């Protein structure tokens, strides 16, 4: 085994580049959040209309990942990544000249598809470039950006707001352009891309993932449902975070990043704890414990929300605990789910990402439909997602060994 890359000509900045590409998703979502009230006033639209642009982005991002992943297996990572970045930049420029909230929604959807194309190739590029054991050592660096970027992005967005909401999109466009320029020196990592797109082969792969059974039960599909429900809690929060902190609690744009970041920081704490515990505690137990903890926090949040006047001093820590539990649930579920697949691991990863983004975007829209100027619809929507996650989690039998390898179907290997 060697720590040398399998792909010749990789630049020294390969891993920082991939990490920066992963960061495009969080930056595109979270830098934008402090601008929502100002944009609502600018376009003379309600905050709900601007919140929907967040859900639109989540939908588009999921679609981009669903399509981009399998296509990158066929024609290579680089064409998919470059097309995605180009679409992202074009849509970003158009957003700066939008005349209505409806135009923003449409263009954010296109921007998101480009972002999905660009980011879905990142893990695959690392897998392509290094032997499996060496790739596993490098994933933490790449994944760390997924947690650090949401801490930085809202604060950055708050400061950019001093120059006007358009400044946020100037930053996003410049960021994507720098990624394109850096990509020029990164070689193709797929060993022998076919050079042609076969859409007909994509659907059967996804169907096989969805219908994979363990002891006659759709266990992998249940893991996907649980992951999607847990992800929905975070997505509903992201969709409504500007209303929660900037309008309802009126903390101010400069403090928005601090309150938003508290939730991400809690996720990092749980993620770090899981990294240490997973060597001694079975992932299935961590998965169930995380779901139970999330349910307790959400239960308290629901009870207090309907019996007391909303107060930021108790709302914020309970919300952070609820969202932070995902830092334990997500890595545990990902390992349990993907261990059922080898040959179809790329399609399985794309399908899980799609489930999280699509279900999360849908729940975000639902919370907007029942908007009444209070936080109760938001909390109830998140509560429904937490309840679903727990029902699914405790319907999954304890796997034999790590994931019940003895009963894995050969078709999925």
- Any idea of the CA torsion for 40, 41, 45, 49, to the nearest 10 degrees? 10
Residue 149 near residue 125 (C-beta atoms within 8 A): no
Domains and CATH numbers, the chain: 1-190 (1.20.1250.20), 198-406 (1.20.1250.20)
Most confident of 6-20, 62-76, 174-188, 340-354: 174-188
Least confident piece of the model among 212-216, 324-328, 331-335: 331-335
The token duo for 78 is 């680089």
* pLDDT score recorded for residue 405: 37
Cα four-point dihedral sign 46, 48, 51, 57: negative
3-state secondary structure 169-212: HHHHHHHHHHHHHHHCCCCCCCCCCCCCCCHHHHHHHHHHHHHC
Range list of H helices, 242-282:
253-277
* pLDDT score recorded for residue 409: 42
Place 176 in a pLDDT band, splitting at 50, 70 and 90: very high
Per-residue pLDDT at 413 exceeds 50: no
Per-residue pLDDT at 282 exceeds 60: yes
> Rounded mean pLDDT of 159-179?
95
* pLDDT score recorded for residue 412: 46
Cα four-point dihedral sign 245, 248, 251, 254: positive
Spell out the residues 6+ positions from residue 77 whose beta carbon is closer than 8 angstroms to its own: 121, 124, 125, 128, 188, 189, 190
CA contacts within 13 A on the Cβ side of 168? 24
Calculate what percentage of the chain has a pLDDT beyond 90.
41
pLDDT tens-place string over residues 83-116: 999 999 999 999 999 999 999 999 999 999 999 9
Per-residue pLDDT at 407 exceeds 50: no
The token duo for 218 is 């759709």
Calculate what percentage of the chain has a pLDDT beyond 70.
90
Q: How far is CA 328 from the centre of its chain?
A: 15
The token duo for 376 is 């109760």
Residue 62 near residue 357 (C-beta atoms within 8 A): yes
* pLDDT score recorded for residue 28: 95
How far apart, in whole angstroms, are the C-alpha atoms of residue 109 and residue 266?
29
Name the average pLDDT for the chain: 86
Per-residue pLDDT at 403 exceeds 50: no
pLDDT tens-place string over residues 340-375: 876 566 677 778 888 888 898 889 889 888 888 889
Residue 411 near residue 208 (C-beta atoms within 8 A): yes
Place 72 in a pLDDT band, splitting at 50, 70 and 90: confident
* pLDDT score recorded for residue 175: 97
Where do we find the tokens 């998101």?
A: 112
């Amino acid at each position: 085994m060697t720590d040398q890359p399998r792909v010749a000509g990789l630049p020294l900045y390969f891993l920082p580049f991939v990490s920066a590409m992963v960061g495009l998703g969080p930056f595109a979502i979270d830098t934008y959040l402090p601008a929502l009230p100002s944009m609502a006033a600018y376009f003379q639209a309600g905050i709900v209309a601007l919140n929907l642009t967040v859900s639109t982005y989540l939908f588009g991002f999921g679609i981009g990942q669903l399509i981009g992943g399998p296509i990158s297996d066929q024609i290579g990572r680089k064409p998919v990544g470059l097309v995605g970045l180009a679409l992202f930049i074009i849509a970003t420029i158009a957003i700066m000249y939008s005349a209505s909230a409806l135009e923003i929604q449409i263009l954010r959807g296109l921007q998101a598809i480009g972002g999905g194309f660009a980011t879905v190739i990142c893990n695959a590029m690392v897998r392509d470039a290094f032997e499996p054991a060496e790739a596993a050592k490098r994933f933490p660096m790449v994944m760390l950006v997924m947690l650090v970027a949401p801490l930085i992005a809202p604060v950055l967005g708050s400061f950019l707001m001093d120059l006007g909401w358009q400044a946020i999109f100037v930053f996003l466009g410049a960021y994507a352009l720098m990624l394109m320029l850096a990509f020029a020196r990164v070689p193709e990592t797929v060993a022998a891309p076919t050079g042609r797109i076969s859409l007909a082969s994509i659907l059967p792969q996804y169907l096989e993932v969805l219908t994979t059974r363990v002891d006659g039960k759709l266990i992998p599909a249940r893991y996907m449902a649980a992951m999607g429900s847990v992800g929905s809690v975070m997505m509903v929060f992201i969709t409504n975070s500007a209303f929660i902190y900037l309008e309802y609690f009126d903390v101010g744009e400069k403090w928005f990043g601090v309150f938003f970041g508290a939730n991400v920081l809690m996720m990092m704490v749980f993620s770090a704890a899981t990294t240490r515990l997973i060597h001694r505690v079975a992932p299935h137990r961590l998965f169930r414990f995380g779901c139970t903890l999330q349910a307790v926090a959400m239960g308290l949040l629901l009870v207090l929300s309907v019996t007391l006047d909303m107060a930021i001093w108790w709302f914020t820590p309970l919300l952070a605990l609820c969202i932070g539990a995902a830092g334990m649930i997500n890595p545990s579920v990902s390992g349990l789910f993907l261990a059922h697949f080898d040959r179809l691991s790329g399609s399985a990863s794309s399908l899980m990402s799609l489930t999280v983004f699509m279900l999360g975007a849908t729940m975000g829209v639902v919370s907007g439909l029942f908007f009444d100027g209070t936080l109760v619809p938001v909390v109830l929507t998140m509560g429904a997602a937490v309840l679903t996650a727990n029902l699914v989690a405790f319907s999954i039998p304890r796997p034999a060994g790590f994931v019940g390898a003895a009963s894995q179907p050969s078709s999925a290997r």
